[in-house]
Structure 1
Amino acid sequence: MLNSITHKDIIEFNKTMSLLLISKISITQALEILIEQIKNTNFQQIVKKVLKDVTRGKTLSNSFSKYPKLFPPIYIANIKIGEETGNIARVVSEYTSYLEKNQNLIRDLKKAARYPLLVLLVSMAVITFMVFFLIPTFQNLFSSTKVSLPFVTQLIIDSSRFIENQFIWLILIFGALASIIFKSKDSKTFKNIIDKLLLRTPLVSKLIIKNLMARFALSMSILLKSRITLLEALKIARNTSSNHIFKKEVDIVIKRIIKGESLSANTSTSILFDKTFSRLLFAGEQTAELDKVFGMISDYYGKEFEYQLDVITSLIEPILILVIGVIVAIILIAMYLPMFDLINYFGV
């Protein structure tokens, strides 16, 4: 039911809600209007239940908290502050901006993997064609003669024959592995392994860390703007990330702050937070404007992430094309090498 509700639906909901509340329309009226405008029937049913709760006297934050997948703790915490200050409209408006910025960061990260994946799929299709159609054709030609084949040619033909003969088993093994990965993808152990691998992979690790920093700082900025305590903000911002290694690092920071240490001092010793992050935080602590500083940090790392993304994409594209080109060239050369002996064999 909830899976059919997209990020776009949630952003549109909050955007319209903030406009209605800014226009001095009551919460109940705003929800009634939203129910009429929402196109997703599942989302519409949830908002109807929220409206029913609100008309019975429950707070908006309490009603929303029943649906944590749609309205996460960061949203509920901000709504509660909005209820206490009587300024829910501003809180919802700021949260909408947060959602849009966060969505852009996630979209850019996905975009980084899209083109290399496409190139890999095309290359796999080309190599599959060569293995099942091109190489067997040459194999039949070579087997009908007594020409001795070069080592590379023989190796490629043997590999092609093995793949062709064991194709069903290979598909079954691949399917079983894919099934195990799919079933394990939500387990903590599997996620920890993937997170560790990604954070140890050259180039990719830098990209992921920049993205994590930008999103974490964005969460901290919106929470601190709403006058939520630093400790509470850290606990909520921690849960906005799905990266388990990052969560553990934030947990360490939280424990040290409880002991009385400063935020900037804690992040300076972390394996994920760099010196720039810590220095900017130190400046924010000195001026008592951490919310603004976190906003600046988010913008800074967001731009750094985009730059790093462009650099990595520009490197990966030609490298992938070169590697695939070399593989195809080796196969073609290996197939055509024996042709010189065939010419002599037929006495041409």
Structure 2
Amino acid sequence: MPVYEYTALSSSGKKLKGVIDADSLTAARQKIRGLGHYPVDLKETSSKPSTIKTSLFSKQLTLGKSIKQQEVHIATRQLATLLGAGISLIPALNGLIEQTDNRSFKTVLAQIKDAVNEGNSLTSALTDHPRLFSKIYVNMVRAGEASGSLDVVLERLAEFGENQHAIGSRIKAALLYPLFMAIVGVVVLFLLITFIVPSITGVFEGTKQALPLPTIILIAISALLKQFWWAVLFVVLGAIAGARWYIGTPAGRQRWDGLKLSAPGFRDLTIKTASARFSRTLASLLQSGVPLITSLQIVKNIVDNVLLADLINNACDELEKGSSLSHFFKGNEWFPPMLVQMMAVGEQSGTLDKMLAKAADSYEKELESKILALTSMIEPVMILTMGVVVSFIVVSILLPIFEMNQLIR
């Protein structure tokens, strides 16, 4: 059924905008009049490509205006509240459509409502938008519908997305200042070497004095950046693009992920990040009633590491043979002992989801504190690096001056 965007006037003369689904343009006008409004402008929605930003359990959608992460979380929570209050699904979706200001999101919600209205399940309606609602979202909703606790599952989905978004926002805020300092430092050094240094070192060019090695190096770097800065920039960007392309290949991705799991400084951070994502996502899926093997098949795409994904896939095979999750991961260097122990306790007591949720709380706090500690170390490292570079420039300029003074004496 087509979806139409409309502009109408209310009985009091107030201008209204919204989205409505109908079989035809005439039916849409009649539907708007049935709401007590007078239609002024009515057109069928188009689907022009554009990026839509979504949450951790969402990817990208090609529609009009961008949909922010928070809009998806808010809509999920609102739908959970409406269903929890005893309102049936169709009126609840109508309420969401009326409350949403984003036209692109209105269109998506209207299409979902239309699919449900035709007799499809909410899960089936969500699968029509795979770039907006990921496997985690769809499978949790499917489990909620099967168990008759859709409102509870949607509440968990909203909490899950909001928590992940909050953690990501705090980490981004912590990285913002060091990033700004790094950009300012690079710009200052570039201006210093390309504009200030040549005017000073130009004094030495008229003399026949043999210049010290540091001064020769500084003059060469200055001349290179001043005349061929565009080539240097092209090489740097080309190297970054080449590295990104190589990492995008299967062999490159495997090497890069292996490096992250073995390199000092990166290893601990990578393992804690993967453990937090693994625990939180698996706990949320299990609490929603999704079977363990199905949950693991979803989680392996969340850890963002092909080696860990292969390991989780092997765990699924062992589980089908009758092995336990904790037994498979026991002794593995990529799964922390605490996480494995909590899995074992959860499996023995039948509370695996609760144990994983506790492990996720612990690892998320550890991860956040570790990232904050690393970002606090970036600033002194940058200051030290700037100091070393500036010291090299100063020494390179002063050395020939000292030698000239000695010759004059």
TM-score when normalising by structure 1: 0.91
* CA displacement, residues 84-143 of structure 1 (integer Å, 9 cap, x when unaligned): 222211110011111112223333444454343333212211220122112211221111
Measure the CA separation in 2 of the matches of 1:67 and 1:253: 30
2:144–2:289 contact (8 Å) kept in structure 1 = no
Q: Following TM superposition, by how much is the alpha carbon of 1:172 offset from its aligned partner in structure 2, in angstroms?
A: 2.9
1:249–1:272 contact (8 Å) kept in structure 2 = no
Asked whether 1:177 is paired with 2:239, we answer: yes
Measure the CA separation in 2 of the matches of 1:77 and 1:121: 43
2:196 corresponds to which of 134, 138, 146:
134
1:5 corresponds to which of 67, 79, 97:
67
SS for the counterpart of 1:338 is: helix
Mapping of residues 252-263 of structure 1, within 5 Å? 252-263=314-325
Q: Following TM superposition, by how much is the alpha carbon of 1:222 offset from its aligned partner in structure 2, in angstroms?
A: 1.2
Q: Aligned residue for 1:245?
A: 307
2:83 corresponds to which of 4, 21, 24:
21
- By percentage of residues, which structure has more strand? 2
Measure the CA separation in 2 of the matches of 1:210 and 1:108: 17
SS for the counterpart of 1:200 is: coil
1:157 is aligned with what amino acid?
I
Q: Aligned residue for 1:123?
A: 185
Distance change >3 Å, CA 327–CA 179, structure 1 → 2 = same
Measure the CA separation in 1 of the matches of 2:175 and 2:271: 16
Structure 2 segments unaligned to the other structure (5+ residues): 1-49, 53-65
Q: Relative to structure 2, which stretch is displaced further, 247-256 or 283-292?
A: 247-256
Percentage of pairs with the same residue = 27
Q: Aligned residue for 2:395?
A: 333
1:16–1:34 contact (8 Å) kept in structure 2 = yes
1:105–1:215 contact (8 Å) kept in structure 2 = no
Measure the CA separation in 2 of the matches of 1:201 and 1:113: 21
Measure the CA separation in 2 of the matches of 1:34 and 1:190: 44
1:281–1:294 contact (8 Å) kept in structure 2 = yes
Q: Aligned residue for 1:103?
A: 165
Q: Aligned residue for 1:281?
A: 343
2:112–2:125 contact (8 Å) kept in structure 1 = yes
Q: Following TM superposition, by how much is the alpha carbon of 1:208 offset from its aligned partner in structure 2, in angstroms?
A: 2.5
1:46 corresponds to which of 108, 130, 134:
108
Q: Aligned residue for 2:99?
A: 37
Q: Aligned residue for 2:132?
A: 70
- By percentage of residues, which structure has more helix? 1
Question: Which is bigger in relative contact order (C-alpha 8 A, separation at least 6)?
Answer: 1
Structure 1 segments unaligned to the other structure (5+ residues): none
Tell me how large the CA RMSD over aligned residues is: 2.2
Measure the CA separation in 2 of the matches of 1:185 and 1:68: 25
TM-score when normalising by structure 2: 0.78
2:327 corresponds to which of 242, 256, 265:
265
Asked whether 1:167 is paired with 2:206, we answer: no
2:165 is aligned with what amino acid?
Q
Q: Following TM superposition, by how much is the alpha carbon of 1:343 offset from its aligned partner in structure 2, in angstroms?
A: 4.2
